Structure 1
């Protein structure tokens, strides 16, 4: 049975309302940044496991969940990275760790590079490595647009199954309930930036301990990418979850935590 978060709350940081869910409440602080269409609550099942050892804060990235949204906001990578820096400062954290998934991993990297020394360590879970002149991100934009458009009108778990056929009923229900909170222009901007923002320079400039977690069946990060990343920054620890697609903890929950190991508490 899910225990749920300790509480949800909002903080005004970087000029917007940032909503978050707090799990655990004890141990070192970990900020968890979800991916492109994952409101904070959809990461609850993984946050609860992390909360056995850490004080976990899962954020709603701007334009998603209960954080600020609308046509007047900047949904670029730099703005989202500054959100994380300001969020950490507003809550008085002292060098928290960050776990970021997909888009959230790109945000984590840009935040760490932009505010050197602000974060103790990073876990980058299958970040898109597409960019100018690079291999495109394997997911296609219509997959996001179509599912969000249906969610805005109202969709149930059975309807969502067409988009996420391997997910459990509980996961499908949660996505069907919350996907409508993903502001479509924010999603389109983030997807376009997967191809317009080259993050390999960020890999090179990371100074803190960093883990890159690769989905074995995701097709997002390939061997050639791992080689380039290692060449740019040999200190990055690369781990793999062989039987998982891009949504690693959804596909292989135990494999996700096996790959993570004790990295956050070393």
Structure 2
């Protein structure tokens, strides 16, 4: 692991550099470390506020950029199957020297965490799925895919980036801090701004099958025995009542927290309520 003074680090996991940030616990209490995993098309910085909040509650927190996202390396062979993400997570846990951390994953990060937890007993001490169920709503997934594939040719300005995000999520205030968008896009030599992820992640192969294989996810869910929390965005078009009911059949001991004001991007939409729900869950289970 290469560590820098600002708590950013790079792990070499199976030949792909994975970038991350560590957020040391504030205080001396010993708690279970937390690993936060972002959704498809996002970066680790989508967790910045939540990670800071959880560190202030006494947790060592780690956020990671998935392969092909943010500052992590792109898969040279275009491998963005579930196996690649899951094996990367297992490798990162080992490289960081963590013993059974709590895995907290949103969307793609939640799918990855579910597979690792269910398929590798002892890998995690608890699981938090953020707007993730096995049976997702196809229209919500299609809307995400349309958003991600609509701007692969980039943007002229950061204002255009902000407009695109506001159009996708009209209930969230349009950002005024255009500099903050630089964490999610990069300016190339042609002067245009591009999303900070490998286009091959979304445009190659059967995307829905690669990332949301319901048979595999259901099999993994049936094997989850650790404390589990499903945090649902009340306004999400990806997770429905039926999807939650199906998850509770697969993981009967799971708890559900409804962040009523949030959509699919729960932490960003209502970070305070989200962080409170996570902390209450961790406290209940002495983690």
Counterpart for residue 276 of structure 2: 258
After the TM superposition, which of the residue ranges 156-165 and 231-240 deviates more from structure 2? 156-165
Instruction: Give the Cα separation in 2 of the matches to 1:86 and 1:229.
Output: 27
After the TM superposition, which of the residue ranges 110-119 and 158-167 deviates more from structure 2? 158-167
Matches within 5 A, 1:199-218: 199-218=217-236
Question: Does the 8 A contact of 1:147 with 1:160 survive in 2?
Answer: no
Instruction: Give the Cα separation in 1 of the matches to 2:255 and 2:203.
Output: 31
After the TM superposition, which of the residue ranges 66-75 and 119-128 deviates more from structure 2? 66-75
Q: Which of 49, 53, 66 does residue 49 from structure 1 map onto? A: 53
Give the superposed CA RMSD: 2.4
Question: Are residue 125 (structure 1) and residue 125 (structure 2) matched?
Answer: no
Task: Tell me how far 1:250 sits from its aligned partner.
Answer: 1.7
Counterpart for residue 186 of structure 1: 201
Q: Which of 240, 252, 271 does residue 222 from structure 1 map onto? A: 240
TM-score of the pair, normalised by structure 2: 0.81
Question: Does the 8 A contact of 1:217 with 1:243 survive in 2?
Answer: yes
Gaps of 5+ in 1: none
Counterpart for residue 85 of structure 1: 90
Q: Which of 169, 172, 183 does residue 175 from structure 2 map onto? A: 169
Question: Are residue 105 (structure 1) and residue 110 (structure 2) matched?
Answer: yes
Q: In 2 relative to 1, CA 188–244 (structure 1 residues): closer, same or farther, beyond 3 Å? A: same
Counterpart for residue 192 of structure 2: none
Question: Does the 8 A contact of 2:133 with 2:244 survive in 1?
Answer: no
After the TM superposition, which of the residue ranges 24-33 and 94-103 deviates more from structure 2? 24-33
Question: Does the 8 A contact of 1:130 with 1:194 survive in 2?
Answer: no
Instruction: Give the Cα separation in 2 of the matches to 1:47 and 1:148.
Output: 29
Task: Tell me how far 1:200 sits from its aligned partner.
Answer: 2.3
After the TM superposition, which of the residue ranges 225-234 and 168-177 deviates more from structure 2? 168-177
Q: In 2 relative to 1, CA 264–172 (structure 1 residues): closer, same or farther, beyond 3 Å? A: farther
Task: Tell me how far 1:36 sits from its aligned partner.
Answer: 0.3
Q: In 2 relative to 1, CA 170–204 (structure 1 residues): closer, same or farther, beyond 3 Å? A: farther
Question: Are residue 94 (structure 1) and residue 109 (structure 2) matched?
Answer: no
Counterpart for residue 9 of structure 1: 9
Task: Tell me how far 1:248 sits from its aligned partner.
Answer: 1.0
Counterpart secondary structure, 1:221:
coil
Question: Does the 8 A contact of 1:204 with 1:229 survive in 2?
Answer: no
Q: Which of 230, 233, 238 does residue 256 from structure 2 map onto? A: 238
Q: In 2 relative to 1, CA 45–187 (structure 1 residues): closer, same or farther, beyond 3 Å? A: farther
Question: Does the 8 A contact of 1:85 with 1:115 survive in 2?
Answer: no
Counterpart secondary structure, 2:62:
strand
Question: Are residue 59 (structure 1) and residue 59 (structure 2) matched?
Answer: no
Task: Tell me how far 1:97 sits from its aligned partner.
Answer: 0.7
Bigger radius of gyration: 2
